[in-house]
Amino acid sequence: MRTKENKEGLISPHLSLSSFEMGRDDVNVVCTYGKISIWFGRQVPGVVIGQIFLGIARIDQAAVHELEMVCDFDEITEFESNGYVLVSYARSSEGYRTTFNVPFSSKKALHTLAGAVIRELENENTVVDCYWTGDDSDIMRLHEELSSIEGWKIKSINYKEDVKDKHYE
């Protein structure tokens, strides 16, 4: 059976994952069954951002990042032409309040998202949340996919049994 100390072995087939954390000093990826949360530090190279986004896309083409912003009406069309999918928009005093899905099935959308993350990192660290349908095997496949990134390692593994669920006590 795999323990937290035995990080380089396989995930225990007898336990369900609660979360799986991997990365390096300048990037942290936390996977759960419905979400991948990626923290990018200001020093992360753009190529690593691209490798992570493309790695997720190779494992789950249905993964999406939901992006909310206020923009001019003309910018909506520009985002759509870059692969973003408009979910909703409403006129506001500042412009148009929009919600887009960034599909990981679109390399053009991922390229645009990576560019936006790189620009944001000029000022501050940033977090990108992706929604997916990954399970234990997808999480392991994602780790294998991203392990080619220099300095990549498993940071922590939490099983559902590690956390008491108060609903069932």
What is the pTM for the complete model shown? Answer: 0.87
Q: What average pLDDT score do residues 10-28 get?
A: 86
Residue 80 is assigned to a structural domain of this protein: yes
Is 27 in the same domain as 59?
A: yes
Are residues 112 and 157 part of one domain?
A: yes
Closest among 137, 104, 106 to 38, alpha carbons compared:
104
CA quadruple 123, 124, 128, 129: dihedral, nearest 10: -140
Report how many domains make up the chain.
2
- Domain contains 9: no
Enclosing domain of residue 50: 17-63+107-168
Question: 151: alpha, beta or left, given left = phi > 0 and alpha = psi -120 to 50?
Answer: left
Predicted confidence (pLDDT) at residue 167 exceeds the cutoff of 70: no
Nearest to 46 by CA among 61, 67, 27, 68: 27
Same-domain pairing of 40 and 114:
yes
Rounded distance between C-alpha atoms, residue 100 and residue 67, angstroms: 5
Q: Which residues contact 124 (CB under 8 A, 6 or more apart)?
A: 42
Q: What is the pLDDT of residues 56-90, one digit of tens each?
A: 999 999 999 999 999 999 999 999 999 999 999 99
